């Protein structure tokens, strides 16, 4: 690792670094987490003074501290350290990924980031930090180490975000991908499918793809029991879509269900 290579040039600092890492390892095994955090901050000071912060070791320490807080439901502190870990891991990935010598390091960093992104989205959702949630979800869908379940969740949240913010073509793009992934992986969780199809139907309606809106909603109403709150919206979209394509007979059939 480059930061360790740089650190070894300062023998005094490297000796302190190794000593602190051993102390931290023992404290972690004994689950003495308050002391672990104190000693971890000393390591951060050593790294800052000798190698700078552009390295995965700094990111790992922030991730470990954040995870301790995360497990104990101290989400504000966890979030702060996760955001720092994200910054340092991504800076390190940028440095390592273009060098063949460190190809394995870059792959490991992407794997760690996949786990970190999932915890970040939990925290961002908890604190209603939708800007960060959207930013991280856009990284999740590009990370090869993310599970398809988490990818679907990210696409679903991105669809909703872009619908709310009226970026309708993006909402349509993400909504299409959500529904595709659900079908490709044979996920039959009705609530999830209903929500995903309704989001896509909304997006397709507003960008003028009324035939697609009709196809989506007819299929949805045929196969699933839609909650009352969404049922009225589905019929309203169908009614205006039928009228838009000139199918007034079907529009008349659903009109009684439209407020």
Q: Which residue, chain included where needed, has tokens 């809106």?
A: 213
**DSSP classification of residue 129:** -
Share of the chain above pLDDT 70, in %: 95
CA 47 to centroid of chain Cα atoms? 29
Phi, psi for residue 95 in degrees, rounded to 5:
-70, -40
3-state secondary structure of 51: coil
Instruction: Give residue-wise pLDDT tens across range 5-21.
Output: 677 777 888 899 899 99
For residue 1, pLDDT beyond 60: no
Q: Which residue, chain included where needed, has tokens 């793009």?
A: 173
For residue 35, pLDDT beyond 80: yes
Of 136, 36, 134, 21, nearest to 86 by C-alpha is 136
Architecture of the domain made up of 1-145: Alpha Horseshoe (1.25)
The tokens describing 238, both together, are: 């169908």
Cα 241 from Cα 213, distance rounded (Å): 7
Q: What is the dihedral of CA 44, 48, 52, 53, to 10 degrees?
A: 40
Q: CATH 1.25.40.10 spans which residues of the chain? A: 1-145, 147-259
For residue 175, pLDDT beyond 70: yes
Instruction: Give residue-wise pLDDT tens across range 180-239.
Output: 999 998 887 888 899 999 999 999 999 999 999 999 999 999 998 888 888 999 999 999
pLDDT for the residue numbered 61: 94
pTM equals 0.87
pLDDT band at 2 (very low <50, low <70, confident <90, very high): low
On whether the 147-259 domain is CATH 1.25.40.10, my answer is yes
Give CB contacts under 8 A, 24+ apart, made by 29-33: 33/68, 33/72
For residue 4, pLDDT beyond 70: no
């Amino acid at each position: 690792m480059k930061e360790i290579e740089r650190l070894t040039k300062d023998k005094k600092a490297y000796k302190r670094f190794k000593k602190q890492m051993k102390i931290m390892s023992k404290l972690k095994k004994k689950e003495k987490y308050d002391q672990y955090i104190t000693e971890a901050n000393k390591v951060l000071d050593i790294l800052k003074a000798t190698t700078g912060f552009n390295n995965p070791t700094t990111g790992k320490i922030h991730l470990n501290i954040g995870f301790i807080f995360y497990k104990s439901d101290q989400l504000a502190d966890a979030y702060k350290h996760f955001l720092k870990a994200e910054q340092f891991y991504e800076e390190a990935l940028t440095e390592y990924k273009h060098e063949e010598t460190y190809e394995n390091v870059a792959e490991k960093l992407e794997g760690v980031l996949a786990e970190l992104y999932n915890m970040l989205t939990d925290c961002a959702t908890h604190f209603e930090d939708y800007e960060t949630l959207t930013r991280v979800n856009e990284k999740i869908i590009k990370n090869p180490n993310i599970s398809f379940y988490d990818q679907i969740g990210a696409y679903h949240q991105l669809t909703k975000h872009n619908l709310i913010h009226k970026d309708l073509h993006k909402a349509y793009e993400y909504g299409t991908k959500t529904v595709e992934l659900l079908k490709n992986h044979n996920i039959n969780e009705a609530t999830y499918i209903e929500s995903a199809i309704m989001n896509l139907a909304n997006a397709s309606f507003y960008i003028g793809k009324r035939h697609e809106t009709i196809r989506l909603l007819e299929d949805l109403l045929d196969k699933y029991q839609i909650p009352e709150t969404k049922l009225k919206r589905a019929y309203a979209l169908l009614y205006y879509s039928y009228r838009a394509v000139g199918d007034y007979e079907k529009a008349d059939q659903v009109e009684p269900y439209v407020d």
